């Protein structure tokens, strides 16, 4: 075992306590999440490894936490909610994720769909996420450092697209890259405190838009950052 793996195991002690995680799952259930596959995956994914060691003791609280570069790891409820929406119509083989961040949502998705294509604009964050997912043996993910407003056209179309940052409008590229029958889950709003979660389904005849609850995500920015 490498010293890095050793270190990962040590960091798990206490934090991986089954009771702490089960309490989180109970809470997500109480808040309305019902997909048992999604809940099982959230229960078994070591969220404490996706945050700074100093915050690891808070990793199983249902809250967003800072991950550096002014970004946050998504709240477990929101990860579960968006994943449920994405999977509500059955299993998915190709999912595009915009906003790799810590890689936590990526890791959850990777255990539930065949392949994940993850785009992140901040290279340093994505490199860290990439390393961690490799150490967790999640190998069905490919990464691209780029601007998510453009999606990832070369590998389109996708059966599912999930955006983990708040967009001022639905990026046209993502609509174009969604397969017929595919589902896009995205927070949309003109300002940070006016975001609504949206589900967009592409049908033969066009796009069907559904506006869901109010949410709060960091903004979907433009351009890239090393």
* Interface mask toward ligand SAH for 48-87; x: CB under 6 A: -------------------x---xxxx-------------
Of 7-15, 82-90, 120-128, 181-189: span binding ligand SAH (CB under 6 A): 120-128
Give, as ranges, the residues between 4 and 23 that touch ligand SAH (CB under 6 A): none
In the complex, the smallest distance separating the C-beta of residue 157 from ligand SAH, rounded to whole angstroms, is: 19
The DSSP annotation for the chain comes to --HHHHHHHHHHTTTT-HHHHHHHHHHHHHTT---HHHHHHHHHS-GGGGS-GGGGGGTTSSS-EEEETTEEEPPHHHHHHHHHHHHTTS--SEEEEE--TTSHHHHHHHTTSSEEEEEESBHHHHHHHHHHHHHTT--SEEEEES-GGG--GGG--EEEEEE-SBBSS--HHHHHTEEEEEEEEEEE-SSGGG-EEEEEEEETTEEEEEEEEE----B---S-B-
How far apart are the C-alpha atoms of 122 and 55, rounded to whole Å?
21
Considering only 25-33, 88-96, 199-207, 218-226, which stretch makes contact with ligand SAH by CB under 6 A? 218-226
The least distance separating ligand SAH from the CB of residue 137, rounded to whole angstroms, comes to: 19
125 binds ligand SAH (CB under 6 A): yes
Give least dist CB 64 to ligand SAH, A.
8
CA-based nearest residue to 218, from 19, 75, 51 = 75
Kindly state whether residue 111 participates in binding ligand SAH, applying the rule CB under 6 A: no
The span from the CA of 159 to the CA of 95, in Å, is 6
Q: Which of 36, 74, 118, 222 is catalytic?
A: 74
- State the number of binding residues for ligand SAH (CB under 6 A): 25
Residue 191 catalytic?
A: no
Measured from the CB atom, is 19 or 115 closer to ligand SAH? 115
| Of 49, 120, 158, 177, the one binding ligand SAH by CB under 6 A | 120
- Judged by CB under 6 A, the stretch of 5-13, 86-94, 100-108, 198-206 that binds ligand SAH is 100-108
- Residue 96 has phi, psi (to 5 degrees) of -100, 130
Q: Rule CB under 6 A: say whether 99 interacts with ligand SAH.
A: yes
Catalytic residue numbers read 74
Residues at the contact surface with ligand SAH, assessed by CB under 6 A: 67, 71-74, 98-99, 101-102, 104-105, 119-122, 125, 147-149, 164-165, 218, 220-222
């Amino acid at each position: 075992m490498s010293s890095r793996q050793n270190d990962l195991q040590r960091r798990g002690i206490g934090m991986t306590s089954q009771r702490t995680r089960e309490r989180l799952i109970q809470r997500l259930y109480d808040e309305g999440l019902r997909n048992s596959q999604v809940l099982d995956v959230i229960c078994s994914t070591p969220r404490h490894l996706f945050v700074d060691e100093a915050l690891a003791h808070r990793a199983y609280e249902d809250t967003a936490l800072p991950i550096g570069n002014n970004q946050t790891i998504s709240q477990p409820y929101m990860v579960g909610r968006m994943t449920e929406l994405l999977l509500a119509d059955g299993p998915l083989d190709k999912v595009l994720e915009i906003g790799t961040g810590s890689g936590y949502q990526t890791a959850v998705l990777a255990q539930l769909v065949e392949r994940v294509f993850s785009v992140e604009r901040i290279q340093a964050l994505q490199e860290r996420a990439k390393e961690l997912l490799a150490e967790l043996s999640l190998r069905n993910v490919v990464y691209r450092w780029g601007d998510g407003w453009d999606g990832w056209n070369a590998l389109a179309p996708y059966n599912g697209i999930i955006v983990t940052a708040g967009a001022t409008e639905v990026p046209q590229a993502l609509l174009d890259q969604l397969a017929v029958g595919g589902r896009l889950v995205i927070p949309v709003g003109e300002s940070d405190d006016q975001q609504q979660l949206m589900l967009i389904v592409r049908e033969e005849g066009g796009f069907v838009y559904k506006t869901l609850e109010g949410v709060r995500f960091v903004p979907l920015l433009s351009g890239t950052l090393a």
